[in-house]
Amino acid sequence: MSGNLLLLPAIAAILVFLLFMVVSQLTNKKENIRERMERIVGEENALSNAGDASEFDDDVVEASSPLANMCDHILRAMGMDTETFRKESQLRFYRAGLGSYNAPTYYLFFKRIGIVFFVLIAAYLVFSDATGMIKLMHWLLAILLLFLGFFGGDTYLQNQRTKREKILQSSFPDALDLLLVCVESGLALDGSLARVCKELGHAHPEITQELNRTRLELTLLNNRPQALTNLAERTDMMAFRSLSTSLLQSERFGTSLTDTLRVLSDDYRQTRLMVAEDKAGRLPVMMTLPLIVLMMPALFLIILGPAILKVMTVMASR
């Protein structure tokens, strides 16, 4: 019995350590926005001097860490093509805000190798000799491990993508209004994007990264429509698809960029107002249950309290 009690904290500590290592490797590649801007400008100058912009990619392939190398070697030894998986799923990880080159490797290792350890530990817990509450704890921990092993990676990616989309959605109006102001002042699209990135670098680093990458693609790629289409594909959000479509129409048909952005800004402002009105309309319904649960007992106590006390006093006097 004591051995089982000591085993649970040890298993939990090992799992927490492994998850911490993987998550830290996925998220420790975020750079300071000023360093990112300096790095990208250096890449732009180097590529401009080289005269070859067709192979430009804003994502710098950083040197693989020892942990990533070890995971990659194990996966390759088992016959898995990590390079093909990385190329096919890189956009999915980028949309989740995981731009690290090694993120697909960690994900594949977790899905193919890590799940085996989760299943083995869960089987050991289920078939252990514990009884009573310890047996129940083993079952609950086994279910948690199986859920984490089978659905943990996908759930984490989906949560990260949802979180990133909310951040981009909240910062999009500021970026769009500032872009409209820059265009109205006489700047071209490339210069306007550069100014927006400079002004919003510290306040909204996520959308600054997207717009800065689009600016560089517009500057370095020969296919400007493709650069604008890439913005919509990388974000996969309606707001950015509308912006990309509007800019594409302006580029293709020569329409006024100022009028295009003004119409888009007004339309999105109305959309934001309707979303706010919808949330305000649902607020009374959402507050009904908390009010009933929290305020009704106190209200009944205030109303019926004196009567109950009076009845108790009368009964006691008899």
Angle at 161 between CA 157 and CA 167, to 5 degrees: 150
For residue 35, being part of any structural domain is answered with: no
Q: Work out how many domains the chain is built from and give that number.
A: 2
- Residue 126 and residue 175 in one domain: no
For residue 142, being part of any structural domain is answered with: yes
Both tokens of residue 106? 């960690």
- Residue 178 and residue 158 in one domain: no
* pLDDT, position 56: 36
For residue 10, being part of any structural domain is answered with: yes
Return all residues near 225 (Cβ < 8 A) that are at least 6 apart. 248, 251, 252
Both tokens of residue 134? 């310890």
For residue 38, being part of any structural domain is answered with: no
For residue 102, being part of any structural domain is answered with: yes
- Domain end among 239, 255, 272: 272
- Residue 75 and residue 153 in one domain: yes
- Residue 129 and residue 263 in one domain: no
- Domain end among 130, 163, 196: 163
- Residue 137 and residue 178 in one domain: no
On whether the CB atoms of residues 97 and 168 are closer than 8 A, the answer is no
For residue 158, being part of any structural domain is answered with: yes
- Residue 74 and residue 223 in one domain: no
Q: Which amino acid is at 218?
A: L
Picking from 195, 171, 174, 192, the residue whose alpha carbon sits closest to that of residue 183 is: 192
For residue 54, being part of any structural domain is answered with: no
Q: What is the pLDDT of residues 221-241, one digit of tens each?
A: 888 889 999 999 999 998 899
Domain that residue 214 falls in: 168-272
On whether the CB atoms of residues 97 and 160 are closer than 8 A, the answer is yes
- Residue 197 and residue 137 in one domain: no
* pLDDT, position 49: 45
- Residue 78 and residue 185 in one domain: no
Q: What is the mean pLDDT of the chain?
A: 80
On whether the CB atoms of residues 84 and 104 are closer than 8 A, the answer is no
- CA 104 to mean position of chain CA atoms: 15
For residue 18, being part of any structural domain is answered with: yes
- Domain end among 117, 132, 163: 163
* pLDDT, position 19: 61
Low-confidence ranges of the chain (pLDDT < 70): 1-64
Q: What is the pLDDT of residues 108-148, one digit of tens each?
A: 988 888 888 888 888 888 888 888 888 889 899 999 989 98
- Residue 73 and residue 89 in one domain: yes
CA dist., res. 234 & res. 98, Å (int): 12
* pLDDT, position 208: 93
- Residue 203 and residue 227 in one domain: yes
- Residue 17 and residue 126 in one domain: yes
Neighbours of 230 (CB within 10 A): 19
pTM of the model: 0.70
- Residue 214 and residue 146 in one domain: no
